[in-house]
Amino acid sequence: MGEDISEEEFLDYHDKLPRIPHYIVARKLTNEELDEQDLRHALYRLRSYKHKLKEEGKEDTFGLKDISEADCDQEFLKKQRFFRRFEEISTLDWYFHPDYCKGGSLNDYQRLVLRNYGGSEYARWSEYHEFLHSHDVEEEYVKFCEELFKKLEWMEGYLDFPRPSHKWDRISSRGALQAIKLAATTFQKITASLAYYGYFECKQSIAYDRTWYKELDGVHFEIWCRVTEKQMSFRDALAEVCALNRFPLRQRRMEGALKRDYTMERLESEYHTCTAKVPPGTEKDKAKELIAKAVKNRLNKPKTYVQYISKKIHIAHVAGILPLKDSKEQCS
């Protein structure tokens, strides 16, 4: 169950955490500052657009491939409406939030908002972009959550506890206390609210993984081994894997598929989807990796704040909002 933390220790750790920064949004930018912002934002949009052309092979719909930044004087950018059409027709995966562009205390990184494709790509998109944290705080939050996931792995064994219940309250409280201690002792930029938020999303992610795809990749991999190596039918391979009793979280589903044709058809369809990108002759370790990736991609798990941040930082480097020399992030 991880480390037990007393109430006195908790209060001590809690008091060490920084306070939530207050952003003064009442001060509006002057006309001169707005003009400067328009020029900066236009170049950010152009850089991101050209990056899409180069890295993603997108079609140059607007004929801007050969336009250099030297060509982008004020007159040219005004004629191009500062490339705002990229945001208006969703050419880019991001935009500058109009409300945030008015505030004098915010920077361009804080004004940057990712698109929430389908309205559900991110679990709590509206909360993520309203936090308005600086990039150094968000970078530290990513590292904090990576460590927190490791420390909270023990919670998986208690996710079946009934709720509400005294037992579950004790488990949940212990995890939260461990999150506060981790923030206070290792990550000095993480506020109490961010520590709690990270704890909540880590806990939800662990529960989601266990419910939807933990052990499922193992099931499909074992079936794949039998189908490819022994030339077994899907049903026979499934029966053999089921008999192993090695995947307790998926056991009932496998048994159900062997009894009901409808369940069998759904499971077999899922198997073919998850093994479609495993070429014939693939080594077992590589096949296992590809199947695990396909299982996760198929379920389309809503992305967390950590994934939102990682993509945002990558975009900020590409656009030039953050220096390219510091870029180590990968777009997710």
Is the distance from CB of 227 to CB of 237 less than 8 angstroms? yes
In whole angstroms, what is the distance from residue 232 CA to residue 286 CA?
21
Which residue in 330, 291, 328, 323 sits closest to 307, CA to CA? 330
Which amino acid, one-letter code, is at 224?
Answer: W
Q: What is the mean pLDDT of residues 108-137?
A: 95
On whether the CB atoms of residues 223 and 234 are closer than 8 A, the answer is yes
Burial of 198 (0-12, 13-18, 19+ CB in 10 A): buried
Where in the chain are the domains?
31-134+309-326, 216-299
- 224-251 tens-digit pLDDT: 999 999 999 999 999 999 999 999 999 9
Q: Residue 327 pLDDT > 60, yes or no?
A: no
* Locus of tokens 């607007």: 62
Nearest Cα to Cα of residue 28 among 84, 78, 99, 82 = 99
Q: How does residue 300 score in pLDDT terms, banded at 50, 70 and 90?
A: confident
CB-CB contact of 17 with 194 (8 Å): no
Decide if pLDDT at 326 tops 70.
no
Query: Is the separation of the CB atoms in 271 and 234 below 8 Å?
Result: yes
More confident residue, 26 or 302: 302
- What kind and span of H or E run contains 181? helix 166-186
- pLDDT category at 104 given cuts 50, 70, 90 is confident
The whole-angstrom distance between residue 73's C-alpha and the CA centroid of its chain comes to: 37
Contact yes or no for 69/43 (Cβ under 8 A): yes
Average pLDDT, the chain: 91
Mean pLDDT value of segment 80-88: 94
pLDDT at 133 over 70: yes
Q: What is the pLDDT of residues 243-275, one digit of tens each?
A: 999 999 999 999 999 999 999 999 999 999 999
pLDDT class of 105 with cuts at 50, 70, 90 = confident
d(CA 227, CA 229): 6
* Mean pLDDT of the region 162-184: 90
Distance CA 279, CA 263 (A): 26
With cut-offs at 50, 70 and 90, classify the pLDDT of residue 22: low
Confidence of residue 285 (pLDDT cuts 50, 70, 90): very high
Token pair of 61 as six digits: 């719909």
pLDDT surpassing 80 at residue 330: no
Taking residues 172-183, report their average pLDDT.
Answer: 94
Percent of the chain whose pLDDT exceeds 90: 76
Task: Say whether pLDDT at 10 is over 90.
Answer: no
* Pair 191, 18: CB distance under 8 Å: yes
Per-residue model confidence (pLDDT) at position 328: 43
